[in-house]
Amino acid sequence: MKFYTLDTVFSFGRHQGQTVAEMLVENPGYLNFCVQVLDHFALSRANVEAWQQQFPKLSEQMTDAAWNKLDEKESQHQAELMRQQVADEEDDSYDSGDYYSRDDADRDTFDALTDGQYGDYDDFGGDMDSLRDAMGY
């Protein structure tokens, strides 16, 4: 999803090559269409509200459905930003060594399953699936 501004140039449709501002002068209803129909097309509600003063015909063209879609897309964008922030924090934690690795989990599983009967995990070789199969798990 891409957030458009007045300076963004359309790379699609009948207004291809025009900026959003140029399109608003010529055909403000197209903005209403893009918001509702195109998943990749997003606008900030605050921007659209400000644009209504500069482009009075826009007020007539924006439907309730378009305003609702704007809010929905902004919510989706905020949720995606939050997910990305969490993922970045997890990556930072992983990079710093402050994590429980797959190797640690396998070591704990090996110790729990074998109770020392098959030697040390480091000598084992690491094929946990075969170990589980052999032990009937």
State pLDDT tens for residues 41-55. Answer: 999 999 999 999 999
Residue 50 sits in the same domain as residue 76: yes
Residue 68 sits in the same domain as residue 17: yes
Per-residue HEC secondary structure of the chain comes to CEECCCCCECCCCCCCCCEHHHHHHHCCHHHHHHHHHCCCEECCHHHHHHHHHHCCHHHHHCCHHHHHHHHHHHHHHHHHHHHHHHHHHHHHHHHCCCCCCHHHHHHHHHHHHHCCCCCCHHHHCCCHHHHHHHHCC
Residue 108 sits in the same domain as residue 123: yes
Digit-coded pLDDT (tens) for 81-132: 899 888 887 766 555 555 556 677 777 777 777 777 767 777 766 676 777 6
Residue 64 sits in the same domain as residue 127: no
Residue 48 sits in the same domain as residue 77: yes
Checking if the pLDDT of 56 tops 70, the result is yes
Residues spanned by the domain of 7: 2-95
Residue 72 sits in the same domain as residue 110: no
Residue 122 sits in the same domain as residue 87: no
Residue 23 sits in the same domain as residue 45: yes
Residue 110 sits in the same domain as residue 56: no
The number of folded domains in the chain is 2
pLDDT given at position 11: 92
Residue 9 sits in the same domain as residue 73: yes
Residue 60 sits in the same domain as residue 116: no
Give the rounded percent of residues in the chain with a pLDDT score beyond 90: 50
* Residues whose CB falls within 8 Å of the CB of residue 22, separated by 6 or more in sequence, listed in order: 15
Residue 74 sits in the same domain as residue 111: no
